Each structure stands twice: as structure tokens, then as C-alpha cells.
Structure 1
Amino acid sequence: MPQIIVVGAGSSGCVVAARLSEHPDNEVLLLEAGPDRSGSATARQLASVNWIDAMRSPEAFDQNLRATRLAGGEPRFYHRGRGLGGSGSVNAMLALPGLPRDYDRWAAEYGLDQWAWPALRSWFDRLKPDLVASTREEYTPVDRALADAAAALGLPDDVDTFTSPDGGGPLWRTAGATARHSSLESYLEPARSRPNLTVRTGGRTDRLLVEDDTVTGVVLTDGTVHTADQVVLCAGAIETPAILLRSGCPRPGVGKGLQDHPAASVLLRLKPPHDRTDPAAPCIGAVLRLSSSMESGDIHILPMHGALSESTPAHHAVLMAAVMTVTSTGEVRLDPRDPTGPPVIEQRMLTTERDRAVMREAVGQVERVLRTGPFEDIVESAFLDATGTPLSALRDDDAYADWLAASVGDYFHAVGTARMGLADDPGAVVDQWGRIHGWRHVRVMDCSVMPEVPAANTHLPAVMVAERMSAVLVAELAGLPGPPGPHAPGRGAPRQ
């Protein structure tokens, strides 16, 4: 019976553990550094379909992580979920696959022929029926204004955002009518009663056990040793490279290639009655996809009804401008003062001229959207920060640069720190199926393997990666040829 350790119970790890344990010949141990919150008040809060409830649950995040967003910037708190479910239990539940050209570029530029869009379409199609889409009846005032603004700008206002056309439309979510359904709820919970699946929380993985070129298990930070025939790292784009660095992985690309979507927010004070919020409803239900002068579909304008912070004057909603196709890269590395502690995260967003130009266009599109009738009908004032700096300040280039330096954030979509690629590619850490180049019996199956961040929220692509790669491992353990198709439905499949 193969002994398999899965490290990390987030968006990918819950999928991998569930899929591997479908087969009774596999003995699966799922290790999670954070707690199991099942049945707790925090778990009930995180289940809410309103993302603001999750963001107001500090105990659900790793409070020790800090990251610099722009090169040379000051480290700020980095939002990363902690506990069973990982970041999938604290995300905004938005489920988009990205654009076909994202994956075609993986194939063309990195030699990943198994990851071109034609090979992935059926996998995303299989995930779609388990998602729900917002309806216009569920739209918040800013959702509705954004969709109507698309029409005012001559764009469609009802596109299927699972596909690629520009325009406004309802978002797909990993949620039901009343609760979040991320990987924890959809994959792991239905599998936890299996006798061949053990879930252990509260134990952080320090490093891999490596003998010559073979990985034989893991060592936790408290010294506990777990041995296995196979180890699968699903600790995410921050912790997976940290584990590999502490393990002495010889690939120079470990920790390099970090990407995320840079985002800038404009705060909106709404006119009554549009300022009223419904805490039982999703706070984000629509998106406006636009094309910059550089690329198609590379800008998102995302609304949020509600406030995560205080401001003067008070605001009731936010419009976020995000660059969805990114060329800047950062790095995750160990802190030499505390190698087993939180890693150093330098995102270095907007370091390329292209990314800076698209960010400027994205902010300009927010200003353009706010000048449309649908927003003029509901917005009393729009400003840039907690002190009420007006949008007109952005006309000054120095003020714009200062604003970005102080406020630009990430979308919590980190990828690329143990990326896929060919063995002779020095930046590549794993092959197309997550096997670490030069080491045996160890794989990576999380968003750190993505060579570039797709133009989408990364939860659904992370689930797709975990589905595909775990199917290959299942087939290999069973002695079957690959690459296989999707897992057989009905055996640990997502909740319908």
C-alpha cells in the first residue's frame, strides 16, 4: 500500500488528498500547519457568502507574514489563509478559469505542451457545473452600476465571465446560496471518513527528508518525522518554495518567478439608499473585463459593496482596478535570521514598463467608469485614501506615484515560485506533472507550479492543476499509462 504525504490543506491540497484517498490502495496523510476549525464560531463566519466576514476574521490568517509590494517598499501584512481550507477558506469565492491565451503561452514559451488551452478546456468545463453565478437580482448597487456602465461604454453587460470576451457580467463563485463551497467543503469534508485518509493539523513542515536523490518523508518544525513512498507539496506559492529551500533543493528557480495581480482601489461614498449593505449577501457579484493598449482582456474592474477600513468621509463601496496579465516578477526567500520562520516576500510588482503602463490605463478606466450615468446616480463622492484625497489628485504624476507606492495591493493570487518547465530550463523546478527535476518521489501540485499568473482569480486554476496532476499520480501508482483524463465522477467529486 503506497504511503503518501500531502503537505498543505488549502485549495490544492484538499483536492489532492481527496483524489488520492479515493483509491483504497493508497494510504494518505494530509499535514496542515494551521488548525482544524470545524464547528467553531470562526468556521461559521468563514462559511458566509459575504467575503467581508472572512476578511474580518484575523485568526483565519497567518499573522506573521509580511511582503513588499513595490520594489524598495515597506513590508506590509500579507493575507494568506491558515488552517484547513487555507486561502480557499478566506478568499472572495470568485471562480474564473483565465483566458485561453494564458495557457497557450505556457505551452509556447515554457515547452508545456500538456498545458495548452485545448488540453485544459474539458477540465474547466467539468468544474463549472459545481459553481454558481450571481444573478442581477443578487447584484449590489455597485455591481448593477458596473454592468450598466459597461453598456454605457458600448460593451456587453451580460457576458459569461467564464469565457473571454470583454464586457461586464456576473461572476461565478465557489459557493451555494448560503455558504462557501471551496476545496475544504467540496473535496476534503466528504473524504474525511475514509479509513485510508488521516488529517493532522497544527504541525508545520520544516523540510523534506532526502537520501541521495530520493525523498523519503518530511520533518516538522517540532522534529517529528513522517516517512512515505511519495510526498506531494501543496503548501502554496509562499510556503512550498520555503520548504524546498530549507530542504536544499538544487534547482536555482526555487522561490523565483513570483507573480500576482497588482490592484489599486478607489473608495466610494454612496447616496442613500445605495449605501445600505446586506451582510447575508455576496459583496462582489460582477466584473468588468477590459483590454489595454498592450493586450486583450488584461484589465479587471471589480466592485465591492462594503468597507474593510475606516475613512473620512466614510465610504460604502470600493472599485478595484487590477492588471491581470503580468510581466513583473518577485521572489520568496528564507530569512537568514530565522530560516524556519516566515519567509521574506518581495513581490516587486510594476517593475516593468509594460505593467506600469497597464496599471495607469486601468486606473484611467475606473475614472472613466465613474463618469458614466449609472455611477453618477449612486455615488456621492469618490476618493483615493482614508483621508479623502480626491481623484483629481491623480492628474499629477508625482501624486499618482506616491498613491501607488502607499496603497497598491495584490489580489492574493501568488504563483510561479516552483514553476513548471523543461529540465534544461534553469528557472524550472518541476516538470509538466509536478515532479521535481533531479529528485524522485516528490511532486508539487499547487499554484507555485504555474509559470505565469493567469488573467483570473487563481482558486479555480489551482483546483484544476491539483485535479490534473493528482490524476497522473493516481495512474502512475496504479501502473497505468498517462496522461489520463479527469477522475471518475461520483467518487469524491465536488459537491453538486
Structure 2
Amino acid sequence: MEAFDYVIVGGGSAGCVLAHRLSAVPSLRVALIEAGADTPPGQVPEAILDSYPMPVFCGDTYIWPGLKARATKQAAERVYEQGRVMGGGSSINVQSANRGLPRDYDDWAANGAAGWSWDDVLPYFLKLERDVNFPDAELHGRNGPVAIRRIMPHDWPPFCHAFANGLRKNGLTLLEDQNAEFGDGVFPGAFSNLDDRRVTTATAYLDAATRKRPNLSIFANLNVERILMEGVTAKGVIAIAANGERVRFDAREVIVAAGALQSPAMLLRAGIGGMADLDALGLRCAIDLPGVGRNLQDHPSLTFCHFLEPRFRMPLTRRRASMTAARFTSGVDHCDASDMYLSSATRAAWHALGNRLGLFFLWCNRPYSRGRVQLVSPDAAVAPRVDLNLLDDERDTARLAAGIRLLANVVEASGLNRDPRDFFPAAFSPRVKALSRVSKTNAFVTSLLGAMLDTPAPLRRLLIERFFTRGKDMASLLADEHALHAFIRANVFGVWHASGTCRMGPASDRQAVVDTQGRVHGAQGLRVADASLMPRLPSANTNIPTIMIAEKIADTMLSTQAGSGAQAQHRYQTHSTIS
């Protein structure tokens, strides 16, 4: 009977990489289990391939149902979009392909993650990428699975040039390559996209040739219910099919790659976590690791919009809307340089209303605030509680305030303004997200609202106040520090970069969950490999760093396998139906 050496839980940004690399060794039998739908070659949904991400992101087809997060202690829970489809987050995100800065990874190594400095991780950034713009540059790869490109300034629409001009007038220089030039500046954003089509880890790593490998088995629409533990040893997993049937997978090693919210939840259900927390849920503690689910990080973020005159609008047929971004320094005491990130999009949504609004995303790099993932029930069908706790550290609030002030200066210098009131705060509220779902009704409603924005300025401002700002305007916020901070606390949200909840570190560190190879402290046959390993959130979107993590861990696993000379002992019944 067939036997698996590795069962990978989660076919996301990390899981697809691991499946591809491990199954390249014919003697290793690998199973990849994804809770969502598969996207094999030739059958990738158009919504996923689309360069414009918001329709798929704001829909409910490819995200985890029932998963919510609380941005701050005072905020209500809101849906927190995490990919539930082959490719995971890489199939629904904005496709940003920034690596972060060398200091991010040097900091990892200096604080317990030995072997994860910039010099250590750079080879894996090179290995994963095929850089379209800089194929011959020393800091770029040319043959990797993930195509990365930029829309260069000569192809920017007028809005991007206006935004960049405003940044330059505020002291930021133009950089060609955010992944090789590491200071403050404005640059064309790098993104995982080729020929105006999204590149996911599913399309990049699970290509037709990989899927034909006889030693790789891919299972979709199977939700892993629990990890099978015998004492401190992982023996496999139990998964539930769509029809309710339970399926058992036995394995020599289980690799959890379900993301920074689901991976710690799986460990906790397996009895791996803080003893007191597990006792409270009636779960037997197999391994007392109090760091499981803690150290949760996301980039504290805010959004702003600007009404666009017709000359600044981009045709809806041009799909890629986000092209220009910047790093800058807040100047807040005891904070790093290049501690802020600002990106722009020439369209705020897919519809006629969104096409009349430019969008700005502002966030704090390397946040100081920390949150937590907790179980509320041992039942795998019940989503964990997610407290992002985004503004727990006042430095993050102060940095966002500094960022808002810079953004206001940038907009003023950009040439976008005929009236300052055309620039306004825009919360990413449930009402806005509801309008962002693709439907005939929303297309009709937003076409009417869009036409109303083109009415005389007084009527336009009434509409903006009614539907977007709820009486808040930039001038009053900037004139009152108390009001500005209150606005930040009321509107901050996570930018879907959850990380850190199973962080790497030495066994002597009680808050560390895994070692530098992803192996769970105190366990046998159990590893974690995804964004939850990050000790500290890098100055970047998390997709490319997560792929790098998977590449590095897979390489370490294969090197260990080759070095030991051990062959897999296929002793396990791997795949059987149970009651």
C-alpha cells in the first residue's frame, strides 16, 4: 500500500513550494492537503488570474468562512480575509513582491533565529524568482518559478506620476528597484505577475510536470481536523471531506503550512501550547509551549482616497492599478529608519465609482504591537479568536500620525488637488467591502454613485461625506492631534500580513515554538513552515518572504536527508477512511 513520508497541511504560499521541492526526490512520497479548491493548469479561475485583485479578495469564494479578527481591543470583529484555495494568499492578494530590507533578517538572526540573516536568506530569494526587469542583476534571480515584474515610470498613468512628484517634492528620491535599493524612496512596486496575469505558488510550483510525479499526491477540498499525536510524536492527520467523510493520513512527518492563524490553532488542538490555556478548554497538554499563538503581528494600516478628475482616471480595461509605492522614515523617537510604507492605486474598486477615486495605503513597517491567536473551542469547525492588538504600542499610533501628515503634504504637492476636500479618509468598512463584491446590482448602484461624483463640487462633497467620511475631513484631523489619534484608533486595520505566531528561536526561549528548521520544540515528526515562523514582521508584504521561508526549509530538509543517507521507511498506512 502507498506510504507518505511527508504530509503537508495547507496548499498555500508555503505548502505548494514544499510539495514541489520535496517531491523532486523520487524516493520521497509527499501528500499535499488543501482545504479549498484546486487550480490545476488550464483550470485556474479567471478571477484569480486577473491582475486586479479586489473582486476575488472581496468575494467569499476563496477565503476562510467565519474567520474574523479584532483590530484593537475596542474594535468589533470583522472578516479577516485569508486564502482558502490552492495557492492560498498568493491566489487572492495584491501580488506585491517586495522582500523587505536586509536589516529585517539580520534582526531575526541576532534575536535567536541563527542562520536566517540577510546573507543566509538571499540565496532563497534568488532561487524563487525570475525577475523580468533585472534578470542580470546581482541581487536577482533569473530562473526561479515566480515571475516578478514592475510597471516602470515610462508606462505609468498620470495619477502615478502625480503621486511620485508629490513624494519627490517631499524629499524622497526615485529608486528603480525596491528589492535591491534599500533606503527611503519612491519606486515602481514589484509584483508577482507576468503578461498581466497573476502568478500564484500553485501555478508557479504545481505545474503540469510536477503534478505528474508519481510520488506526489494532491488533495483539495479536504479540511484537516486534527494532527494525530502519540505522546509527543506526530503520526499523521485526520481530514474531513466535503461529504463529511473522515480520512486518515499517516506520515513519517507532518508539516503544518496553514498560515499564521490556522497553524497555531492546529498545534493547540493537538495539545501543543500553554498548559493553562489548554486545560481551560479541556485539552490534554502534550507539550507545554506557551508561545503558540502569541507574537501575532500585522502591519497597522489606514486608507485614504482622492477624487480623480477625468484626466487622472485609468480605463477599467487596464487591470493593474497599483504601480507606485514608497518607503520613508517617520522620525518618531526610538523607531527605525524606513519604518513606513505608502502605496497607491489608480482605482479604488473595480466599478465606475472606484474608477473615480485614487487610493492610498499607509502602514507601519516592523510594528511594535503584538496580538494573539486563541482557541475558543476544541472543535476544528469553530474559527480561532484573533486579536491583532494593532495599537498596543503607542509608537505605532505616533508613526501612523506622522505618516498621515506626510501623505497630506504629498497630495498637496502632487497637483491632484483643485480643492483640499477632494482628499479624504476612507475606512475599509463592511459597507465599502459589500459594494466591492462583483454583482449586477453593485455595478448599477456604483455607476449611479460614480456619476454623482462628477456633479458640481458642493454636491460631490456631500456625497463623499455621506458615503465615505462620516463628517471627518483632513483639515480638521490635521489641526487636532487628539482628533487625529482618535481617528487612527477608530479606523486602523490589519493589511492581511498575519505572522509570528509560531516563531523561530532556541528551545531555551520559552516563547519560541520551533527551531530554525521549523521543527516544533519537544515534538517528533512535526514541523511548521509558513509566515507564523517569522520572529518579527519584515518591512514587506508577507507573500515573497513566506515563499523564501518554504524554499529554505525545504532545502534544509533535503540536505539533512541526503547527509544522513537515510531512506524513508514506508511503514505507514497513509490514506484510509475511518468512522
TM-score for the superposition, normalised by structure 1: 0.91
Give the Å deviation of 1:45.
1.3
Q: Deviation of residue 400 (structure 1)?
A: 2.5
Residue of structure 2 aligned with 1:387, choices 435, 443, 468: 468
Equivalent in the alignment of 1:243? 266
The aligned counterpart of 2:459 is none
- Kindly provide the amino acid, as one letter, of the partner of residue 459 in structure 1: N
Q: Which has the larger radius of gyration?
A: 2
1:410 to 494, 500, 516: 494
Residue 345 (structure 1) aligns with: 386
Q: Residue 16 of structure 2 contacts residue 205 of structure 2 at CA under 8 Å; is this kept in 1?
A: yes
- Separation in structure 2 between the aligned mates of residue 194 and residue 313 of structure 1, nearest angstrom: 45
Cα offset, 1:377, TM superposition: 7.2
The aligned counterpart of 2:106 is 104
Say if 1:378 and 1:41 are closer, same or farther in 2 by CA, change over 3 A.
farther
Q: Distance in 2 between matches of 1:40 and 1:271?
A: 40
Q: 1:141 to 1:78 in 2, by over 3 A?
A: farther
Q: Aligned runs of 1:149-160 on 2, under 5 Å?
A: 149-160=166-177
Matched-pair contact (CA < 8 Å) for 2:397–2:485: no
2:203 to 185, 204, 208: 185
Equivalent pairs counted in the alignment come to 480
Change (3 A) 1:313 1:240: closer
2:226·2:239 contact (CA, 8 Å) conserved in 1? yes
Structure 2 CA distance, aligned partners of 1:198 and 1:313? 42
Deviation at 1:178, TM superposition (A): 2.2
Residue 219 (structure 1) aligns with: 238
- In 2, Cα distance between the equivalents of 1:16 and 1:137? 38
Q: Which residue of 2 aligns with 1:147?
A: 164
Q: Cα gap change, 1:138/1:11 in structure 2, threshold over 3 Å: closer, same or farther? A: farther
RMSD over aligned CA atoms reads 2.4
Task: Look up the SS of the partner of 1:371 in the other structure.
Answer: helix
User: What SS does the aligned partner of 1:355 have?
Assistant: helix
| More deviation, 50-59/90-99 | 50-59
Unmatched segments (≥5 aa) in structure 1? 482-496
363, 369, 390: which is aligned to 1:322?
Answer: 363
Report how far residue 288 of structure 1 moved: 1.1
In the alignment, the residues of structure 1 paired with residue 393 and residue 58 of structure 2 have an alpha-carbon distance, to the nearest angstrom, of 34
Task: Give the 5 Å matches for 1:164-183.
Answer: 164-183=182-201
Instruction: State how far apart, in whole Å, the 2-side matches of 1:352 and 1:274 are.
Output: 38
Kindly indicate whether residue 301 of structure 2 is the aligned counterpart of residue 263 of structure 1. Answer: yes
Measured at CA, do residues 310 and 366 of structure 1 come closer, stay the same or move farther in structure 2, by a change above 3 Å? farther
State whether structure 2 residue 397 is matched by structure 1 residue 356: yes
Is residue 40–residue 207 contact of structure 2 (8 Å, CA) maintained in 1? no
Deviation string for 1:145-166 (max 9, x for gaps)? Answer: 2222232223212341113111
Q: TM-score, normalised by structure 2?
A: 0.79
Cα contact 2:233–2:523 (8 A) shared by 1: yes
- 1:364-379 aligned within 5 A: 364-376=405-417
Contact 1:62 / 1:80 at 8 angstroms: preserved in 2?
Answer: yes
Identify the range of structure 1 (324-333 vs 471-480) with the bigger mean alpha-carbon deviation: 471-480
Paired-residue identity, %? 30
Partner of 2:213: 194
User: CA 1:313–1:227 in structure 2 vs 1: closer, same or farther (change >3 Å)?
Assistant: closer
Give 2:227's aligned residue: 208
Secondary structure of the 1:354 match is: helix
Worse overlay, 364-373 or 431-440: 364-373
Task: Specify whether residues 38 and 236 from structure 1 end up closer, same or farther in structure 2 by C-alpha distance, changes over 3 A only.
Answer: same
C-alpha separation in 2, matches of 1:345 and 1:42: 31
Structure 2 unaligned spans of 5+: 130-139, 273-286, 427-466, 566-579
Give the Cα–Cα distance (whole angstroms) in 2 for the partners of residues 379 and 353 of structure 1.
29
Partner of 1:234: 257
CA displacement at 1:39 relative to structure 2 = 7.6
The amino acid across from 1:74 in the alignment is A
Cα distance between partner residues in 2 of 1:338 and 1:308: 37
Name the aligned partner's letter for residue 206 of structure 2: L
User: How far, CA to CA, are the matches of 1:208 and 1:273 in structure 2?
Assistant: 56
Query: Compared with structure 1, are the counterparts of its residues 367 and 478 closer, same or farther at alpha carbon in structure 2 (3 Å cutoff)?
Result: same
Tell me, yes or no, if the aligned pair for 1:67 and 1:345 is still in contact at 8 Å: yes
